[in-house]
Structure 1
Amino acid sequence: MSIKSATVAASREGGYKQAMIIIGGLFAVFGFVTWLNASLISFLKLLCDLTDSQSLMVTFAFYIPYFLWALPASWVLKKMGFKNGMAFGLVVMAAGSLVFIPAANQRSFILFLVGLFIQGAGLSLLQTATNPYISILGPIESAAKRISIMGICNKLAGVISPLILSTILLKNATAVEEQIKTTTDVVVKNQLLSELASRVIMPYIVLTVFLVIVALLIRRSSLPEINAEEEDSSGNAVPARKSLFNYPYLWLGALCIFTYVGVEVMAGDVIGTYGLKLGMSPDTAKYFGSLTLACMLLGYIIGIFTIPKFLSQDVALRGSAILGIVFTVAAFFTDGYTAVACIALLGLANALMWPAIFPLAIEGLGKYTKIGSAILIMGIAGGAILPQIYTGLYEEKSLFGGFLHSQGIDFKEGFMYSMVPCYVYILFFALKGHKIGKIRA
């Protein structure tokens, strides 16, 4: 069945609404899992006595699988279909969550990273399936609106997840940190660390069971399959070009996704570390990630009411990039809670970026939609790289420290220097990049 006829049939039978509900539930699931990282960074930094760059290996391990597995994921989707592929992705995520149990028992940072890597692999499959699915489920002009609705599901769960996990993992974090630092008895210190590590076991057992249950429900659902290979994403038959390299706007879009996810992860996951460096206590800073997500939630709501009625997708992206530059610079020139508020407001600036970039970059790909979507999903690896570049600018003992560390650059300068160029590129894509090589009807 073609996209157009599938959409019509789905609308007649109520399948369109059901599909939106099911995919919205999936967006909530991987939003919940993704934004647990904000709490894990602080937790593992305390548990494993890590530097900033080491603790941000959490984001590296979680996001780098998108680069490695997105293309294989498109092959899996071609063989299994959207629905079965989504269910399989959830099972892979459950396997990654299960690894947290031996990781906690052994207090092994490497095993935690392995679990995160497996989770990321499962999510790369889910993202490769769900984003093009929701984009082509209806008219491409309103894709940003549908993705904004999905974003609300994602970020509502994202706001809740660090609050829940922080309450469990980082309860009395300031006092626990002080005890661990001041204790000289090795036995007592190991006991404290073992008790701290044990806090992660039950939440991830529950998460594993939940993911398996959701996978079974998706497998048994009536989620309609959509054939993305016969028509373009707007439902119009177009002749396919010789290869993906004949779609320059797709590759520019992939780089745009890379920079966007980088700044999103910085705003959501690094904000806690930023607050600690400003002298705030762990008990206070552990909730900062939820502030960023709350601002993103507000941005998605704005998108639902304004796109495409008042704003086109590219105009919304332009405004978002400009806001990102403004709030980043404001964070540099302010201090204390004002600076933290500016970083949280980056959530508002970032909210409409994914909903705008993705449909702009896959429009008109026709039979290349699935693999083109996979290439865009590879760009999510920006969440692995940008935090390491950030710490590399101010921390000598970091992954990129030998290349990027410059004497005299502090964490505030590092934040600005790593973020502003990304927003400038996003602005370029909004103004010109998404038009390069695109055939307009």
Structure 2
Amino acid sequence: MAQSPAAVKAESLSSRDTWISIGIIGMLFFIFGFVSWVNAILIPYFKIAFTLSNFDSYLVAFAFYISYLVMSVPSSYLLKSVGFKKGMMYGFFAMAIGAFLFVPAAMSRTYELFLLGLFTLGTGLAVLQTAANPYVTVLGPKERAAQRISIMGIFNKGAGILAPILFAAVVLRVGDNELFQQLDLMSPEAKDEALTELIQRVITPYTIVGTVLFGLGIFVRFSPLPEIDTEHESAEVAVANSGKTSIFQFPHLILGAIAIFLHVGTQVIAIDTVIPYANSFGISLLDAKVFPSFTLAFTILGYLIGISLIPKVISQVNVLRICTLLGTILTLFIVFAEGPIQFWGMTVDISILFVVLLGLANSLVWAGIWPLALDGLGRFTKLGASLMIMGLCGNAIMPMLYGYFADLYSVRLAYWVLFPCYLYLVFYAVYGHQIRSWKR
């Protein structure tokens, strides 16, 4: 369907309107981060409450992120039909339904219903991500796209720092460490009662989250956020795209979607596995809950560096090359380095610190890939963005792969899954993004 008549060209917006739009989109990215990164503590929390294996516990991430694979292309057609703002409203409504599903799931202590709620949350996020990422990419000069995405990343990861800590503060109690240690010694009836009480602690927070998400949907629909026209191409882009009928005729986009798949997989592994990895060294859940926040803090540090240096001091593509190479090196350190160090008042293995530092390596990869992959797509932008969002299913598949190898070998050796991912990301940063034809 044709773009809404109210749609405007991004370059026609005043500086004030642009910054208002960036502020509203920043709020959306905060919500993305809060809902997404709370999975870092939901995984070990559900593992205890439902006595799950490593593999089964990572179904939390799988159910949440597999929705991106299922819903991204339908999301692009939804956005074409109703525009960005109404599409975002529907996305928030879907997320609210997912949050409300946690209530019957907790009342019945049904893991599968929790997974359905997570899938529904992810469905709403797929719509929002399909709208928000290309929106912020085209909302200004393309050479500053990584800078704008870095600003969005600060909102996203700032929420991610708060989410596990706030969730832990709401649902965990001071005496829970002792409770967790006694579970295996309890009678079946006492254990079942204790675990039911534990899981029902999520009812109040997710009821509040669902209500807030519904309200945000109404807010975005009637906000001053403008509709951006991505359907009409400039003369230069129209000439370059003449004769093209499919997004599969853009190799740099396809290779970029693969890069997004691997990048988000490495990012979610770094954040969602660090608590169980710390647990393997005898660090309790209540103490280990801070590690995802440190990982995300290093990610924010990377964003701040990017905002300061891109593009005046260093180009966004060179930052992408540095970050992907750093991730490759840190993966080797995680696997091979060992020994006790003092960190945040705890004695931890040094490899945990290298997992945390992956936050810095991952910080500007997303921001670097998006403008390179969407460059020159013109009227294919929305569909191209949906393909990129499909890549977020890497968040679903990569943790499952990690969990499989963690059960098969060890939680440390399972980090080998990151190594080929970073090697591909180095390839895309150095060469893959330049490919404009499948012919040599």
TM-score, length basis structure 2: 0.92
Query: Who is 2:378 aligned against?
Result: 366
Distance in 1 between residues matched to 2:41 and 2:74, nearest whole Å: 30
Query: Who is 2:252 aligned against?
Result: 249
Query: Who is 1:427 aligned against?
Result: 426
**Structure 1 residues 309 and 237: CA distance shift in structure 2, 3 A:** farther
SS of structure 2 residue aligned to 1:199: helix
Distance in 1 between residues matched to 2:43 and 2:172, nearest whole Å: 11
Q: Is the contact made by 1:231 and 1:238 (CA closer than 8 Å) also made in structure 2?
A: no
Using the TM superposition, give the Cα deviation of residue 100 of structure 1 relative to its aligned residue in structure 2, in angstroms.
Answer: 0.4
Which letter does structure 2 place at the counterpart of 1:333? F
Using the TM superposition, give the Cα deviation of residue 245 of structure 1 relative to its aligned residue in structure 2, in angstroms.
Answer: 1.8
- 1:28 is aligned, of 24, 30, 35, to 30
Using the TM superposition, give the Cα deviation of residue 315 of structure 1 relative to its aligned residue in structure 2, in angstroms.
Answer: 0.7
Distance in 1 between residues matched to 2:351 and 2:149, nearest whole Å: 30
What RMSD, in angstroms, separates the aligned Cα atoms of the two structures?
2.0
Distance in 1 between residues matched to 2:427 and 2:173, nearest whole Å: 44
Distance in 2 between residues matched to 1:197 and 1:242, nearest whole Å: 50
Question: Higher mean Cα deviation, 236-245 or 270-279?
Answer: 236-245
- 1:108 is aligned, of 110, 131, 142, to 110
Using the TM superposition, give the Cα deviation of residue 242 of structure 1 relative to its aligned residue in structure 2, in angstroms.
Answer: 2.8
* Counterpart check, 1:389 vs 2:401: yes
Distance in 1 between residues matched to 2:296 and 2:100, nearest whole Å: 26
Query: Who is 2:70 aligned against?
Result: 68
Q: Is the contact made by 1:257 and 1:380 (CA closer than 8 Å) also made in structure 2?
A: yes
**Structure 1 residues 8 and 253: CA distance shift in structure 2, 3 A:** closer
Identity score, percent: 41
**Structure 1 residues 33 and 18: CA distance shift in structure 2, 3 A:** same
Distance in 2 between residues matched to 1:312 and 1:413, nearest whole Å: 35
Query: Who is 1:410 aligned against?
Result: 410
Distance in 2 between residues matched to 1:237 and 1:299, nearest whole Å: 36
Using the TM superposition, give the Cα deviation of residue 377 of structure 1 relative to its aligned residue in structure 2, in angstroms.
Answer: 0.4
Q: Is the contact made by 1:247 and 1:438 (CA closer than 8 Å) also made in structure 2?
A: yes
Query: Who is 2:183 aligned against?
Result: 180
Query: Who is 2:359 aligned against?
Result: 347
Distance in 1 between residues matched to 2:22 and 2:171, nearest whole Å: 34
**Structure 1 residues 235 and 338: CA distance shift in structure 2, 3 A:** farther
Query: Who is 2:344 aligned against?
Result: none
**Structure 1 residues 264 and 352: CA distance shift in structure 2, 3 A:** same
Distance in 1 between residues matched to 2:94 and 2:163, nearest whole Å: 20
- 2:274 is aligned, of 264, 271, 275, to 271
Distance in 2 between residues matched to 1:295 and 1:3, nearest whole Å: 40
Distance in 1 between residues matched to 2:192 and 2:170, nearest whole Å: 20
Query: Who is 1:201 aligned against?
Result: 203
**Structure 1 residues 428 and 315: CA distance shift in structure 2, 3 A:** same
Which letter does structure 1 place at the counterpart of 2:391? G
Q: Is the contact made by 2:249 and 2:437 (CA closer than 8 Å) also made in structure 1?
A: no
* Counterpart check, 1:377 vs 2:377: no
SS of structure 1 residue aligned to 2:9: helix
Q: Is the contact made by 1:45 and 1:55 (CA closer than 8 Å) also made in structure 2?
A: yes
Using the TM superposition, give the Cα deviation of residue 169 of structure 1 relative to its aligned residue in structure 2, in angstroms.
Answer: 2.4
- What CA deviation, in whole Å up to 9, does each residue of 1:265-319 have, x standing for no partner? 0001111111112222122122211111111111111110111111212111110
Q: Is the contact made by 2:8 and 2:228 (CA closer than 8 Å) also made in structure 1?
A: no
Using the TM superposition, give the Cα deviation of residue 190 of structure 1 relative to its aligned residue in structure 2, in angstroms.
Answer: 2.3
Which letter does structure 2 place at the counterpart of 1:214? L
Distance in 2 between residues matched to 1:428 and 1:292, nearest whole Å: 25
Distance in 2 between residues matched to 1:41 and 1:7, nearest whole Å: 40
**Structure 1 residues 222 and 175: CA distance shift in structure 2, 3 A:** same
Q: Is the contact made by 1:166 and 1:287 (CA closer than 8 Å) also made in structure 2?
A: no
Distance in 1 between residues matched to 2:7 and 2:51, nearest whole Å: 55
Q: Counterparts in 2 of 1:31-430, with a 5 A limit?
A: 31-172=33-174, 173-184=176-187, 186-231=188-233, 237-240=238-241, 241-335=244-338, 336-396=348-408, 409-415=409-415, 417-430=416-429
Question: Unaligned 5+ residue runs, structure 1?
Answer: 397-408
